[in-house]
Structures are given as C-alpha cells and as structure tokens.
Structure 1
C-alpha cells in the first residue's frame, strides 16, 4: 500500500529518520512517525508513505500518517482553532488565563481554584461565551481542551443533574485567511 501527500508551495517538509518536520508561514511542527514495516520518502513536491505488505493494520497506519501530515500542513499554513463554552446553572464560573494554565474559579461554589495546563504551542483567549484555543499543532490544541474539560469535571455528584463545566462546542477547525472558520 502506498499513499502520497502533495506539499503546497510555501511549505517545507523534512524527513529524517522517522521524524517529519513541517515548516510554513505560521511556524514549525515536528512529529515522530516511526514503525518497523513502514517507509517514508520525500521526492519532489510529494511525501510518500509505503507499507511493506497489505495487511489491514499497515494500511491503517499508512492512512493515519498521511492524515497527520495533512493536519501538520494545515496547521503551519492556516492554524487551528477550537471553541469551548462555559455552562453553569447557579454559581457563575470565573475563568482566567495565568502563565501556562487556565484557572477555573467558583466552580459549583467551591472556594478553591482548579487549574488546567495549556500545552506548548497553544494559546488560550477568553471570549464572552467561553474560550478560544488556537495553535499550529492540532494535537496540542485538542489536548489543551481536554485538560480544561477534565479540570471542570463534576466529581461525587450525578453528571446528569450537575452539568456545570467548560465544554467543547466546536472541534479543531482550520482558521481561514479572514480569521474566521
């Protein structure tokens, strides 16, 4: 099985020992794609992923790697944006961004504050309804959102009744040239 991904102009891709580095106008992203039965080759304006045989697992890995490379290319050319919404019924949740973490205050009336780590390569901006997470690495944007959701998880109560929290309302989308999806 062989799958090729074309490289657009303005994007530079390097393949060295299983590590793929993609650099473009927004920045640089690297990923380790290494498996025993897989080969990655760069020739001209294309990157080719090839498996040694046509087993289902190897075909799946080839498709996954091609999708990862396409996501990296989209990230360095346009970037990724994810939107989260704050939901509460009685106690208003207060959000703030301090250093490398998001602080969740007054969650269910708690006196303490909850912290969620912002992953490297992601930026969090407060919006009137919630949060906007942006970055060039789709995985770090998604992991930052997961950290925030996990920090605002209800413990010791029925989640069907107590639905307060910060939730993803729009998954990672490429940012268009106008700054909107």
Structure 2
C-alpha cells in the first residue's frame, strides 16, 4: 500500500478525551462536547494505548488505483479524527468583519440580525451546535466544536453580502484580503 504523509503518523489522544470505536462508528467525547464519525467500509480504526491509527482493509484492494484511493481515504479520515479531537478540547472559531456605513450585526435570542444595506434587516437562524458572538456591531465570531459546521455557517453569513470590489462594502473574513478595483473614468 502506498505511503501516506498524514495517516502513517499516529494520532495522539490527549488526557480528558475519550474515544470509543464500535465497528465503523467512532465517537469522540471531551470537555466541550461529543462528535461522531462514520467510516467507509474500506477503513478500520485501531486504538493502541493512547494512539489512534486508521488502516485500509486489504480485501478491498484489487488494483493499484484502489490502493491509492484507500491511502487517500486514510489521510482524509485521519485528518477528520484529529479535527474532532481538537474540536472537543479547544473548539474552532471563524471571525467575520462587516464593512460599510450603517452596516451592523446584533443578536436577538437564537437569531443574528444583520443590517447590511437591504431595505429590511436580514435574520439568520443560528443552527444547533454553533455559538455566535457579536463583540462589536461590525464583528461576528462563529464558534463551535465541529470544524465543518463552523466553516459552513461562517460561509453562509458571508454569502449574505459578499464584499463589493469597487466600494469595499460587505461581509468578509477577518484575515481575508480584498483587492479593490478602480471605478470608471469619465
């Protein structure tokens, strides 16, 4: 089987994190919560002492392309497991910045209310498992234990009003660089 840069190194389970493996289902519990992962049939997870390794099953390898695909799957699911462990111990967050005169955000219960240049405010329902903070009216922080869900919610909020490259108004990630274009010359 080909070498994998990610999956060939064992994933260390830190103290305070509990990993349960039942067939193809992996459960990770930590101080911040609990996450689940369903593995494909080609892979198996083994826990030895404080380390987790993802292996490919040999009966699914018929040709070299199958071995390459299983190696890629091993790396992908090893990264998923590492992200789950990091999520239940530290958590993930994405920060968004709102740019524009009169553009602002505020929380009302389980809704994020955004005034972003439309005639009516935009209401965004906060999904389960996500915390949203508004430390300043022009800054939104999306927090959670699931890396995929945090990124997805941040992308949905950003999509409500992408940055206009001419005026610079809109919602962007805090570390995103927007290249401004020059307007028409008369």
2:106 to 91, 96, 102: 96
Count of aligned pairs between the two proteins: 162
Deviation at 1:16, TM superposition (A): 1.9
SS at match of 2:41: coil
Deviation at 1:170, TM superposition (A): 4.4
Following TM superposition, the consecutive aligned residue runs of length 4 or more in structure 1 with deviations greater than 4 angstroms are none
1:26 to 32, 45, 53: 32
What is the aligned partner in structure 2 of residue 37 from structure 1?
42
SS at match of 1:92: coil
TM-score (norm 2): 0.76
How has the CA–CA distance of structure 1 residues 153 and 116 changed in structure 2, closer, same or farther, with 3 Å as cutoff? Answer: farther
SS at match of 2:71: helix
Structure 1 Cα separation of the partners of residues 75 and 129 of structure 2: 25
Structure 2: gaps (5+ residues): 2-6, 177-186
Q: Map 1:14-163 onto structure 2 (within 5 A).
A: 14-32=20-38, 34-52=39-57, 53=61, 55-88=67-100, 91-105=101-115, 107-108=116-117, 110-128=118-136, 129-153=138-162, 159-163=164-168
TM-score (norm 1): 0.78
Structure 1 Cα separation of the partners of residues 20 and 45 of structure 2: 11
CA RMSD of aligned residues (A): 2.2
Q: Which structure has the larger Rg over C-alpha atoms?
A: 2
Deviation at 1:27, TM superposition (A): 1.7
Give per-residue Cα distances to partners, 1:3-31, cap 9 Å, x unaligned: 43121111100122322211112221222
- Report which structure shows greater RCO (CA 8 Å, sep ≥6): 1
SS at match of 1:115: strand
CA contact (8 A) 1:119 1:143 kept: no
Report the structure, 1 or 2, having the larger strand content.
1
Structure 1: gaps (5+ residues): 172-181
CA contact (8 A) 2:98 2:104 kept: no
